[in-house]
Chains A and B, each alone.
Chain A
Amino acid sequence: MSTDVNVKLDALPGLDPKALPLQVKNLQVEFRTRNGIAHAVNGVSFDVRAGETRAILGESGCGKSVTAQAIMGILDSPPGFVTGGEILYRGVDLLKLPESERRKVRANRIAMIFQDALSALNPVFTVGFQLGELFRKHRGMSRQDAKARSVELLDLVKIPAAKQRVNDYPHQFSGGMRQRVMIAMALALDPEVLIADEPTTALDVTVQAQIMALLAELQRERNMALVLITHDMGVVADVADRISVMYAGRVIEEAGVHEIYASPAHPYTKGLLESIPRLDLKGQELSAIKGLPPALTNIPPGCAFNPRCRYAQDVCKQDPAPALFQVSPSRTAACHFWKEVKGDE
């Protein structure tokens, strides 16, 4: 495995250190299943700067996790296939790299935190082994050195008694501590981009806050680009800089966090914000978006949201789907009636 040792950042052909750490352009992913082709991601584009947090927001099944897996190159394939688009890491299109090169990008430059740390950590190896493995396989360290580094990492994510706990198995940790191990694993090789796929969903609220604070702190220290995938509007409001809202495999609105909370320009975003329970509206019926998201094997023509949309008119039911309209110099929304939606407060 000598090729893995000491991966240098300039080893990739075409690498431009001044380019953005991560840029996704028109990404398309489909799953070829027996019941037809599921169009999980249909032209997703976003980018993220160093030190910035990009939230990707959406319901279950809107394609946000698939987007993350496509970026990492860990889609289950078959049935999943990337059929188009570009994933640029500092100007290098990862989709064009051979698997042997792409493998070195993972964990080294772009790392990922998974949702459920209990199932995402291997139950039969100690956390020390699973952390140390990164240093041994990517940096060619000895077992002892790797273990020492693992202890440092556990310290970094504030796990008490790291020296002893490094020999424990994942099931011996509490949920929050396990997620810290997961974070330590993602940060081990100093990646420039961190993708966190619903990092706090499996945790209770107080632990959620601690984990998000830890992530924010580590991101600040290392000037990492963070892609935060979530369906939790509360988490987003606290930590995100920019938001991409996804629906049925498309980004339907893209804006800075304050703009989106102040004046959503897409009916779906608006519906999401209205469905947050509010103390000042106690006693009233909670507003919810009616209906269900479409099956990805059978996305309706036109705007995918039209069957559930209260602004929908005939134009929304016809292909092509609305393009992203420039709402302001820094934000876009994919709705024919964005002006009405935004103005209608």
Chain B
Amino acid sequence: MGRYVIRRLLQFIPTVLGTMFLLHYLTSLAIQFSGNPVRALFGDRTPPPALLQAVTERLGYDDPCLGTRGDPCLFRPAETGSGLFGSGYELGLFFDRLANIFFRFDFGINLRQREVTDLVADAIPFTLKLLVIAILFEAIVGIAAGVLAGLRNGSFTDYLVKISTVFVISVPIFVLGLVVREFVGVKFGNVLRGQDWIPDVISAGMFSPGFKADYPWASLIIPGMVLGATSLAVTARLTRTSIMENIRADYVRTAKAKGLATKRVIGVHTLRNSLIPVITFLGVDIGAAMAGAVVTETIFNVPGIGRLVTMSARTGESSVVIGVVTMLVLVVLIANLLVDLLYAVLDPRIRYE
């Protein structure tokens, strides 16, 4: 068990480095092709070259490799000495960034000179709230729908679940988000806001077209449901097939032969086995939900991690994109590891040596 965890932790290293290099290269390419992001700070004024140079240097966009299109910024010509192994080159921008993050725990600053760690600390509570709502929604409603459909194979409930899940799965999240915002948040919300007897937390909070700082939980319920919708459909289908498979299992028949009540035969002996694949899916889905949060937060204007990444990518702030996404990658990796360990608890036949 201990050795398994260590091996998994070691596997994190190439994953994290690979992701970081991809992000580094993509953001570098963006700068190489569209120019110095620092100029955006000055709007339509043309800054004096010396000032621009100074600000660029302070924000860390002064590396010469950012001026050469396609350069991966891995190495640069050595300024002093003969460089690495006498090649005349030394480690470049990418390795500087790695060193800053992993040795100095310095994730860099954005264009307005705020620490990336501060930005993340401000944004993460909103994303966490959104994720909690989404995961709870998909777990509770998804499993309940799947169990009902699986136990009554061929019934009206079964068809309802089957058809509605196909519908939800086939609508992309950004379409669903925009449609829900327009019809639920704006049109339906306006009707509610016209009624005096409806409390504000419902009319102005829950059914607002976007995030409201006054109602941090209520106004995130609908965005969270949008975020969890696709996975809810997958969860429901997975639970349904899993239940249908297990309900015919020999040990379920044994449980019946033991004279146990149907409630216990289903609730303990069938459900426990059926939920093993579902819980695995939910764990892996935390990562997917993070990706979905980028879209959902942008649509519903939630000031979370997802919107932070979107905005930084637009303005070309490499340090923010690299820093935030690296943290997200770590979160997802750790979540996946925890799920794998939980899997062994759920299914005693699984042993990690």
Q: Which A residues contact B (CB, under 8 angstroms)?
A: 1, 4, 69, 72, 74, 76, 103-108, 111-112, 114, 116, 119-125, 133-134, 137-138, 169, 171, 185
Instruction: Give complex CA distance A143, B306 in Å.
Output: 49
Judged by a CB distance under 8 angstroms, whether B99 is at the interface is no
> Given A123-B349, A169-B349: A107 and B254 within 8 A (CB)?
no
Instruction: Give complex CA distance A69, B254 in Å.
Output: 11
> Given A122-B273, A123-B349, A124-B348: A138 and B254 within 8 A (CB)?
no
Chain B residues, Cβ within 8 Å of A104: 259
> Given A74-B253, A114-B250, A116-B250: A124 and B272 within 8 A (CB)?
yes
Chain B residues, Cβ within 8 Å of A119: 249-251
Q: Are A72 and B254 in contact (CB under 8 A)?
A: no
Judged by a CB distance under 8 angstroms, whether B24 is at the interface is no
Q: Are B349 and A171 in contact (CB under 8 A)?
A: yes
Q: Are B257 and A123 in contact (CB under 8 A)?
A: no
Chain B residues, Cβ within 8 Å of A107: 257-259
Q: Name the distance in Å between B335's Cβ and chain A's nearest Cβ.
A: 23
Chain A: CB-nearest residue to B153: A78
Instruction: Give complex CA distance A125, B345 in Å.
Output: 11
State the 7 A-B residue pairs at the shortest beta-carbon distance, nearest first.
Answer: A106-B259, A119-B250, A122-B251, A107-B259, A74-B256, A120-B250, A169-B348
Chain A residues, Cβ within 8 Å of B256: 72, 74, 106
> Given A169-B348, A169-B349: A121 and B257 within 8 A (CB)?
no
Chain A residues, Cβ within 8 Å of B26: none
Q: How large is the interface on B (under 10, 10 to 19, 20 to 34, 35 or more residues)?
A: 20 to 34
Chain B residues, Cβ within 8 Å of A125: 272
Chain A residues, Cβ within 8 Å of B54: none
A-B contact pairs, 10 of them (CB 8 A): A74-B256, A76-B253, A106-B259, A107-B257, A107-B259, A114-B253, A134-B258, A137-B264, A169-B348, A185-B254
Instruction: Give complex CA distance A123, B276 in Å.
Output: 12
Q: Are A112 and B257 in contact (CB under 8 A)?
A: yes
Q: Are A103 and B261 in contact (CB under 8 A)?
A: yes
Q: Name the distance in Å between A277's Cβ and chain B's nearest Cβ.
A: 31
Chain A residues, Cβ within 8 Å of B349: 123, 169, 171
Q: Are B251 and A105 in contact (CB under 8 A)?
A: no
Chain B residues, Cβ within 8 Å of A138: 259
Judged by a CB distance under 8 angstroms, whether B141 is at the interface is no
- Of B250, B257, B261, B347, which is within 8 A of A111 by CB? B257
Judged by a CB distance under 8 angstroms, whether B329 is at the interface is no
Chain B: CB-nearest residue to A119: B250
Chain B: CB-nearest residue to A126: B348
Chain B, residues 52-68, CB within 8 Å of chain A (1/0): the string is 00000000000000000
Q: Are A124 and B258 in contact (CB under 8 A)?
A: no
Chain B: CB-nearest residue to A185: B258
Q: Interface centre among A72, A116, A120, by most B CB within 10 Å?
A: A120
Instruction: Give complex CA distance A116, B254 in Å.
Output: 11
Chain B residues, Cβ within 8 Å of A72: 256-257
Instruction: Give complex CA distance A106, B251 in Å.
Output: 15
Chain A: CB-nearest residue to B346: A124
In the complex, chain B residues 214-261 whose Cβ is within 8 Å of any chain A Cβ: 248-251, 253-261
Instruction: Give complex CA distance A105, B273 in Å.
Output: 27
Judged by a CB distance under 8 angstroms, whether B307 is at the interface is no
Chain A: CB-nearest residue to B249: A119
Chain A residues, Cβ within 8 Å of B264: 137
Chain A: CB-nearest residue to B348: A169
Chain A residues, Cβ within 8 Å of B260: 103, 133, 137
Q: Are B251 and A123 in contact (CB under 8 A)?
A: yes
Judged by a CB distance under 8 angstroms, whether B269 is at the interface is yes
Q: Are A106 and B257 in contact (CB under 8 A)?
A: yes
- Of A116, A122, A124, which is within 8 A of B255 by CB? A122
Instruction: Give complex CA distance A134, B257 in Å.
Output: 11
- Of A103, A112, A120, which is within 8 A of B251 by CB? A120
Chain A residues, Cβ within 8 Å of B255: 122
Instruction: Give complex CA distance A69, B257 in Å.
Output: 9
Instruction: Give complex CA distance A134, B260 in Å.
Output: 8
